[in-house]
Amino acid sequence: MARLPDPTLRATILNAARTVFKQKGFTDARMADIAGEAGVAVGTIYLYFKTKEALVVALAEEINRRILTESVPLLAEGNFSEAIERSTRKTLEICRSDRDLVLMVYLQVGISAFSEPCETDVELGNSLIAILDERIQRGEAKVYDPSMLALVIIGLVDRAALMGFLGGEEEAQLLEETLIRFLQNALVL
For residue 112, pLDDT over 50 is answered with no
Q: Identify whether residues 154 and 77 lie together within a single domain.
A: yes
Q: Identify whether residues 95 and 42 lie together within a single domain.
A: no
* Distance from C-alpha of 54 to C-alpha of 34, rounded to nearest angstrom: 13
- Please name which of 158, 157, 153, 155 lies closest in space to residue 131, comparing C-alpha atoms: 153
- Domain with residue 45: its CATH number is 1.10.10.60
According to the model, what pLDDT value does residue 34 have? 96
Q: Identify whether residues 142 and 70 lie together within a single domain.
A: yes
For residue 45, pLDDT over 60 is answered with yes
Is 85 within a domain?
A: yes
Q: Identify whether residues 178 and 92 lie together within a single domain.
A: yes
pLDDT digits (tens, 9 = 90+) for 13-28: 999 999 999 899 888 9
Is 20 within a domain?
A: yes
Is 55 within a domain?
A: no
pLDDT digits (tens, 9 = 90+) for 142-172: 999 999 999 999 989 988 888 888 778 888 8
- Domain with residue 146: its CATH number is 1.10.357
Where is pLDDT greater, at 10 or 115?
A: 10
* Mean pLDDT, the chain, integer: 89
Instruction: Give residue 2's pLDDT band: very low, low, confident or very high (50, 70, 90).
Output: low
Check if the beta carbon of residue 102 is closer than 8 Å to that of residue 152: no
| Average of per-residue pLDDT across 55-78 | 91
- pTM score > 0.95 for this model? no
Is 56 within a domain?
A: no
Is 4 within a domain?
A: yes
> Which range of residues forms the domain containing residue 21?
1-50
Q: Identify whether residues 122 and 172 lie together within a single domain.
A: yes
Instruction: Label residue 114 left, alpha or beta by phi (over 0 means left) and psi (-120 to 50 means alpha).
Output: beta
Where is pLDDT greater, at 6 or 55?
A: 55
> How many domains is the chain partitioned into structurally?
2
Check if the beta carbon of residue 87 is closer than 8 Å to that of residue 72: yes
Q: Identify whether residues 14 and 46 lie together within a single domain.
A: yes
Q: Identify whether residues 12 and 73 lie together within a single domain.
A: no
Q: Identify whether residues 177 and 106 lie together within a single domain.
A: yes
Q: Identify whether residues 141 and 109 lie together within a single domain.
A: yes
Q: Identify whether residues 45 and 72 lie together within a single domain.
A: no
Instruction: Give residue 83's pLDDT band: very low, low, confident or very high (50, 70, 90).
Output: very high
3-class state of residue 176 by DSSP: helix
Instruction: Give residue 109's pLDDT band: very low, low, confident or very high (50, 70, 90).
Output: low
Is 42 within a domain?
A: yes
Is 76 within a domain?
A: yes
Q: Identify whether residues 111 and 181 lie together within a single domain.
A: yes
Please list, in sequence order, all residues whose beta carbon lies within 8 angstroms of the beta carbon of residue 24, skipping any fewer than 6 positions away: 33
